[in-house]
Structure 1
Amino acid sequence: MSWQGVPAVELHEVTRYHGARDTGVAALAGVSLSCPPGTWTAVMGPSGSGKSTLLHCAAGLDRVTSGRVLLAGRDITAAPDSVLTALRRRTVGFVFQSFNLIASLTAEQNVAFPSKLAGVRVSRSDVRQSLAGVGLADRARHKPRELSGGQQQRVAIARAMISRPAVLFADEPTGALDSHSAKVVLELLRTMVRTAGQTIVMVTHDPAVAASADTVVFLADGRIVDRVGSPTVHEVAERLAKLEG
């Protein structure tokens, strides 16, 4: 897909209602957001502000009520499920707080599994290279129970990146990790942005995690109410505290 020069993720006046529009709840209320290629955007806000809904709509996991969503320059707003499924397999990677690794499979088997499920053949060398990229070349044959939480999350990142997606969506990727493991994962994500031109959109509640991003977007009541470029932990914590207060 040729999309360089256009935003990796675009939302234009997106609304998302849960329930009927006239009586339901607006999880998103006119959100517009643009994430250029090779950037890292963190999304923050109080509980119920619409963070996860924004992530799901941007990734094509959830349908918008109105507005437009574009991924790597392609309008996915009204795309049929078959197209969305194929697009997600090629264009999008996902990393969640729960690692979602299969306990009976080794690290390399977990990395290869989604591609095999999609009917896409990946070579062992590609899998090994993906694991090496997250510092786990020597853990390829280890099963999840033999890995630390931080190592399991890095396997999940390798799995998400094996298809070289245009955008990596991360939902609380360090939420289940200790501080050292979280730091390792964040450094890995920063390296991916800096050296591989990866685009990351991440939801987090932790100011220290958000401060690793290039830009922090703040949501409240389904609307973008603030944003900070080149954030510091203090800036992020202060603005989040105001919203929560």
Structure 2
Amino acid sequence: MSTTALSRTTAAVSLEAVSKTYGTGPTAVRAVDGVDVDFAPGTWTAVMGPSGSGKSTLLNCAAGLEHVDAGRVLLGDTDITDADDEELSALRRTRIGFVFQSFNLVSSLSAAQNVELPLRLSGRRPGREQVLQALAAVGLAERADHRPRQLSGGQQQRVAIARAMVTAPEVLFADEPTGALDSTAARGVLDLMRTTVSAGQTIVMVTHDPAAAARADATVFLRDGRIVDRLAGADAATVAARLVSLEG
């Protein structure tokens, strides 16, 4: 069992002895293997590891996108381990934000309409000012009426972040948020994420990029579904060296 504690404060998200297996019999793959980890409020944690180490599965389990086979997942004081789809959908509309590498914007909707979508899905009637404030926070208020095809990759990712943040979630999960961006756009997205953390947001981010991980407060490393190390405040070269050591 792997054990990593990122803080002694009450965790924003906790995984307790979590395991997740795909398939059965001799072809079964245990993607996450007995992981214990806490993510403290107001911190930014990067998750890294070799290909197939279980990074995205860990993120999906923590965010309630996948059910675990064993262990518990807690969002603050709420045990979401056995939550049904309706309960998890409600959590994702209110307490959890998720940013995907592929943006997942609705192509037929404007930036503003994409941002207000989770509010509408949760039964709220978003005001124009609230939506514009969310876009202004990511530097895109003037692009509110543009559709995704009229935006650059970096701008689309910032719209996706605004959409994830508009409900004021307790935790923002991000799966390779800069993976499809050039270096300039990636830097802008990472700057934005640092700003949100400075304002109290909790972020858990999967990345393959040591430079992106170095922007986080700490990096946890997975291998074969287990957390094997944690570095706090490490620079990109140190993070890269540790990642290479796990790939051998």
| TM bin (shorter chain) | over 0.9
Structure-2 residue corresponding to 1:199: 202
Say whether the 8 Å CA contact 2:120–2:126 is kept in structure 1. Answer: yes
Distance (Å, rounded) in 1 between the aligned partners of 2:209 and 2:124: 36
Structure-1 residue corresponding to 2:118: 114
Q: 2:40 aligns with which of 25, 36, 43?
A: 36
* 1:7 partner SS: coil
Q: Percent identity?
A: 64
Q: 1:229 aligns with which of 215, 232, 235?
A: 232
Distance (Å, rounded) in 2 between the aligned partners of 1:147 and 1:79: 37
Structure-2 residue corresponding to 1:212: 215
Bigger Cα displacement from structure 2, 94-103 vs 13-22? 13-22
AA at the equivalent of 1:74: T
Give the deviation of 1:165 after TM superposition: 0.2
CA RMSD of aligned residues (A): 1.3
Encode CA deviations 1:153-180: one digit per residue, 9 max, x unaligned: 1001000001000000000000111100
Encode CA deviations 1:206-225: one digit per residue, 9 max, x unaligned: 10111110010000000000
Distance (Å, rounded) in 1 between the aligned partners of 2:125 and 2:243: 44
Structure-2 residue corresponding to 1:189: 193
Distance (Å, rounded) in 2 between the aligned partners of 1:187 and 1:207: 15
* 2:33 partner SS: strand
Number of residue pairs the alignment of both structures matches: 240
Q: 1:151 aligns with which of 133, 148, 155?
A: 155
Encode CA deviations 1:3-56: one digit per residue, 9 max, x unaligned: xx6211100111111123786221111111101100001000001100010000
Encode CA deviations 1:71-97: one digit per residue, 9 max, x unaligned: 122111112222111112111001011
Structure-1 residue corresponding to 2:77: 73
Structure-1 residue corresponding to 2:143: 139
Give the deviation of 1:145 after TM superposition: 1.6
AA at the equivalent of 1:6: T
Give the deviation of 1:115 after TM superposition: 2.0
AA at the equivalent of 2:240: A
Q: Which runs of 5+ in 2 are unaligned?
A: 1-8
* 2:215 partner SS: coil
Give the deviation of 1:132 after TM superposition: 0.4
Structure-1 residue corresponding to 2:6: none
Encode CA deviations 1:123-150: one digit per residue, 9 max, x unaligned: 1110000000001111111111221111
Say whether the 8 Å CA contact 2:93–2:121 is kept in structure 1. Answer: no
Does residue 128 of structure 2 align to residue 124 of structure 1? yes
Structure-2 residue corresponding to 1:8: 12
* 1:12 partner SS: strand
Q: How does 1:86-125 map to 2 (within 5 A)?
A: 86-125=90-129
AA at the equivalent of 1:138: E
Distance (Å, rounded) in 2 between the aligned partners of 1:79 and 1:94: 18
Distance (Å, rounded) in 2 between the aligned partners of 1:87 and 1:6: 19
Give the deviation of 1:114 after TM superposition: 2.6
Distance (Å, rounded) in 2 between the aligned partners of 1:94 and 1:38: 16
Encode CA deviations 1:171-194: one digit per residue, 9 max, x unaligned: 000011110000000000000001
Say whether the 8 Å CA contact 2:44–2:216 is kept in structure 1. Answer: yes
